[in-house]
Amino acid sequence: MQQRHVVFVVYDGFQSLDLVGPYEVFQYAGRATGGYACDIVAPLPGSVRSSSGLPVHVRHGIADLAPDGVDTLVLAGGRGVYQARHDPGLVRWVAAAGAGARRVASVCSGAFLLAAAGLAEGRRVTTHWARAGQLAEEHPGVRVDRDPIFVRDGNVWSSAGVTAGMDLALALVEDDLGQEVALSVARYMVLFLRRPGDQSQFSVALWSAQPSTDPIRAAVRAIHGDPGAPHGILDLARHAGLSPRHLQRRFTAEVGTPPSAYVERVRVEAAQRALAESDDPVDAIARRYGFGTAETLRRTFHRRLGIAPSDYRDRFRSTKEYL
């Protein structure tokens, strides 16, 4: 198998996991198949300090690593990107390497360097949710989507923050070498599951506000305690000790989403876990978590995740070992 040259770009103040997570994914896949050769490049060779203070020794500076011949260019994010994107030599190198590469990827705020090099213009990209507004404001020609774990637009890939870089790298490996290899890498690295790109950056625990009063906390506990139980507005009002109208208003104000939408999202996450971790039939999972029928579960998955439950399960299950 011909090796693909994967080059990671770092700079002072990069986020160490934006480099190390994806790098290890490609290294494991390369070890199993011989498919990758990885390099790291920085403005100057030598010790490059990450945002956490962890130093990384980089063999190549942009002056001694030619920008041609790169198969996959990966731009790490981190607080230092705001200075790095104003380094004309680095930006020129990234632009030249990206123009010739088969594909370009950014992790987290690496999207700012992607945009500075002109590689994101007219593209749909994502970044860490906390940086999406700034990216959209500073680069109006870039279509910023703050929600997905990762996005592919043609040969430009981008991901949300930190651990999402590993999801992105696994998707790149799958694109090259197939699902079996990607899932074997995920298992070897003990990743809980490999998330599809259109899954939101925000799990229920992250995207919702925490309730500030005991009645709403009681309703939220009831939902999480048994996602498949009846959780209509009357049921939740009984848990909260409020009238249905009062519950509806206070729940929406405190949690940031109406009760029905919150219940659906909790049920979808419960079904995702069941699909990934068990062999239970889809219709049984649908009944267990309050969807009633497999068809209702399928429609909900398509609307929220852009994928069918059976396809979601197939993404995370494999029988063939490569590592």
How far apart are alpha carbons 63 and 45 in whole angstroms? 9
How far apart are alpha carbons 220 and 86 in whole angstroms? 46
pLDDT in tens, 127-174: 998 899 999 999 999 999 987 889 999 999 999 987 899 999 999 999
pLDDT in tens, 238-288: 999 999 999 999 999 999 999 999 999 999 989 988 887 788 999 999 999
pLDDT in tens, 43-57: 999 999 999 999 999
Give the pLDDT band of residue 193 (cuts 50, 70, 90). Answer: very low
pLDDT over 50 at 320, yes or no: no
Enter the pTM of the model: 0.70
Write out the DSSP string of 164-217.
HHHHHHHHHHHHHH-HHHHHHHHHHTT-S----TTSBS--HHHHSPPP-SHHHH
Q: End-to-end CA distance of the chain, in Å?
A: 17
| Residues whose CB falls within 8 Å of the CB of residue 116, separated by 6 or more in sequence, listed in order | 85, 86, 91, 94
What pLDDT is stored for residue 319 in this prediction?
A: 35
* Backbone phi and psi for residue 109, each to the nearest 5 degrees, phi listed first: -75, 0
* Backbone phi and psi for residue 140, each to the nearest 5 degrees, phi listed first: -65, -20
Averaged pLDDT for residues 20-41 = 95
Lookup: tokens for 135: 């990216």
